[in-house]
Every structure is written in C-alpha cells, then in structure tokens.
Amino acid sequence: MANYPSMKAFTIALKAMQAGLMPFVQGILTEQSNKLAADVRDRVQSQGKSSTGGSFSPYSKGHIYKKKKHGKGVYGQKTDAKNFYFQGTMWNSFTTTSVKKLSPTYVSAGIDFVGSNVYKSNAELEDIHSGRESQNIAAPSQQEELDLVERLEEQIYAYIESVL
C-alpha cells in the first residue's frame, strides 16, 4: 500500500479507486462467469452429476444401444451416467450471456445456452432436459458458487490493494 502525505491525497486516491472498481468488476465477472460455466459443463459431462451431487436419471436402453453401436463422434461413448452430451452442440454453447451494471453498486451476470441445434435452440433443449429431470441440469452447485465468490473476492482485493 502507498503512503499518502495527507488525508486529501488519500481521499483523491480513494475516489479514483471507487471510479474504476465497477468497470473492473464487470470485466472479471465476465471472465469468472465463463469459468463457472466451464465448471458446470465439466461436472455434468465428466461425472454426470447434478448440482446437488446426485446422478441424473439413466439413459434409455435404446439410447445406450445407439451410443455403443455408433461409437464416439456420432453419439459419444459414455453410457454409465447421463451427461446430456448427444452431439456436443448444447454444452459447447454454455457460456456467459450477459454482464450488466444495474446500479452504481450492483452488477449481475447470467450464464445460459446460446445458439441453436438443428431443430431447437440450445436453451429450449436445456428446458426440455431439465423438465425431464425435474431440476435445472445446468445449475451451479453450492461449491461452484462459493468458488466463484472466492475468485471474485481475491481479484477485487488485489485490485483495491494495487490502486490504493
């Protein structure tokens, strides 16, 4: 931290830090929301686990047969746990959709599916699969949310320390 020769100099530095804080937060929120989306995607695809830690319902026998018959590239090979990876287009589109400054002291970020598949939008596909599972298949877990907050805190504290 810097040493200030007077309270006036410290106040000027504090106002400069305050003016740059929200734009900084918006930038890191975009970056960290993309990391959160990647964490959710990895959990569902690699482990087949919901945000509560449980497994999703199993694939149908017909779908398992198709996956095994056609192999990787057409349907994928993972059949032990449902990962909603049919042709990859849905999860490849899971990303930060918006970061908005809603007030001088409040920002918001959203992660969701963008783009479309052959017949439906990826958001519609997520709604269909979430309805079948009776839970949001793309919801972050409590630990993923805590990790996001921790990363944001670290970066914000580092910014404040570097400016003051």
- For 111-136, what is each residue's pLDDT tens digit? 999 988 778 888 898 999 899 899 99
In-domain check, residue 100: yes
Please indicate, yes or no, if residue 2 is contained in any of the structural domains: no
What is the C-alpha to C-alpha distance for residues 154 and 152, in angstroms, rounded to an integer? 5
Residues spanned by the domain of 106: 7-163
> What confidence category does residue 47 fall into, taking pLDDT thresholds of 50, 70 and 90?
confident
Q: What's the CA gap between 97 and 58, in Å, rounded?
A: 30
Q: What is the pTM of this model?
A: 0.80
The answer for residues whose C-beta is within 8 angstroms of residue 155's C-beta and 6 or more apart is: 28, 32
Residue 19 lies in a domain: yes
Residue 50: partners with Cβ closer than 8 Å, 6 or more residues away: 44, 56, 133, 135, 137, 139
Q: What is the number of domains present in the chain?
A: 1
Q: How far apart are CA 164 and CA 161, in angstroms?
A: 5
In a domain? residue 1:
no
